[in-house]
Structure 1
């Protein structure tokens, strides 16, 4: 994985995600809206995979889409199993796993668009060139 300003953000977000999913107990109050947990899972994974993809985009390297999907799948399954096994106020959920992967795939779609746009801009002749 390339090392740049996004690498630190990747690690911080991963630590925050593990804390939020496993070490912070679920509150006893009602969620702000129905399926709030699915939105939270989607957002958590979207941000994690987006930051990972940005490390590659920033380094001008091809984003390893398949590897990031595999990472997200292992992270989603692992976090759901860990929530079911190690927390008292959370449970593993197939729906949460689907939301996780939805966030991953959306981030990778956006990364593909961003990388294509960055490369298209980089390939244009300079306005000051003699061509």
Structure 2
């Protein structure tokens, strides 16, 4: 069995942390009214998914793909994590106590995925000396 490449350790760790956070029973969350007023949970979703996409794009940089292929891979990463976010909403609805399906969370996940994709493309792709 091959060992996990070091570049994939951070994305895998973030996946585990995110999955744990998304599957905590709703009764475990604080019931502060002011957090709802600033849509705190939506900001958490945006940040969580932006970091997720960024970390997986960062890990894929080590694979030495051509620039065009890397652009497609980055896009597929963002789509995959949005699908994960949608799937987790169904898990919350059907499998987690005191949690529910929230379309607003899916929108926040999408915003986070697009943010992570945009940042990754701006940060990494222009600087790469790869074949077009």
Q: Same fold (TM over 0.5)?
A: yes
Structure 1: segments with no counterpart, 5+ residues: 124-131
Q: Could you tell me which residue of structure 1 aligns to residue 18 of structure 2?
A: 17
Q: After TM superposition, list the pairs within 5 Å mapping 1:26-65 onto structure 2.
A: 26-30=28-32, 33=35, 34-61=38-65, 62-63=70-71, 64-65=73-74
The reply on whether 1:102 has 2:111 as its aligned counterpart is yes
Structure 2 vs 1, CA of residues 31 and 103 (structure 1 numbering), >3 Å: closer, same or farther?
farther
**Cα distance in structure 1, aligned partners of 2:34 and 2:117:** 28
Q: CA deviation at 1:58?
A: 3.5
- Structure 2 equivalent of residue 8 of structure 1: 9
Q: Does 1:73 align with 2:82?
A: yes
Normalised by the length of structure 1, the TM-score is 0.79
The aligned length equals: 119
